[in-house]
Amino acid sequence: MCADFANIKTEIQNMEAAQVDILHMDIMDGSFVPNLALGLADYQTVRRLTSLPMDVHLMVQNPHNFIQLFNRAGADIIYIHPEADQIPTRTLLEIKKLGMQPGIALNPGTSVETIRELLSLVDYVLVMTVNPGFAGQKFLDFVIPKIEQLVVQKKDNSFKLMVDGAISPTKITQLAEMGVDGFIVGTSALFGKKKVYQEIVKELKGE
């Protein structure tokens, strides 16, 4: 969402050269979140241009209805918001059955207690550290205790813990030390900077 879509092929080539691990794409329906941004055609375009792993963050109502579409579009990982799905267990199991990796995304106001039973079903948990829908927001520090809870939950489950929203280099250092596995970076750390992606990503990875 933060990339320059007018030059998306070059953007992808530069991210590949920088050795980013995963390309993250937000799909928004204007209902579950107030913004309407990116869609299936955008996803298909990016998929044709890269062999990097790609996830899809479904910020949509009834995400179960979109699983087959994004499977055919080549998604490797699919995140759903459990509160947007009447039967999230069914959706997560279908994602895995189709050969993709299931993940759940937690809004700032969604507690760990409400999704505890789902943790054994997923490969990824994505904690939103801003309210979903728009780039350029401030990091919500009250989410940190939830991240700490999920770090503990990783001991009994096999998911990777990711964070998304206002992820600056400082936050990456802080949260990595806590036990976070991966970071979705946008305008706070990667895009719109004067440095080239290769230099930025190397610094973010501590290389």
Catalytic residue among 21, 29, 164, 181: 164
What DSSP assignment string belongs to 120-174?
GG-SEEEEESS-TT-SSPPP-GGGHHHHHHHHHHTTTS-PEEEEESS--HHHHHH
Contact by Cβ (8 Å): 187, 165: no
* Catalytic annotation present for 164: yes
Residue of 26, 29, 55, 85 marked active site: 26
R_g of the chain, CA atoms, integer Å: 16
Task: Report how far residue 32's alpha carbon sits from residue 62's, in angstroms, rounded to the nearest whole number.
Answer: 9
Place of tokens 């998929």: 47
Q: Dihedral of CA 137/102/5/187: which sign?
A: positive
Give CA–CA dist 180/203, Å, rounded.
17
Whether 26 is catalytic: yes
Q: If we measure between CA atoms, which residue out of 41, 90, 42, 40 comes closest to residue 62? A: 90
Active site residues: 26, 164
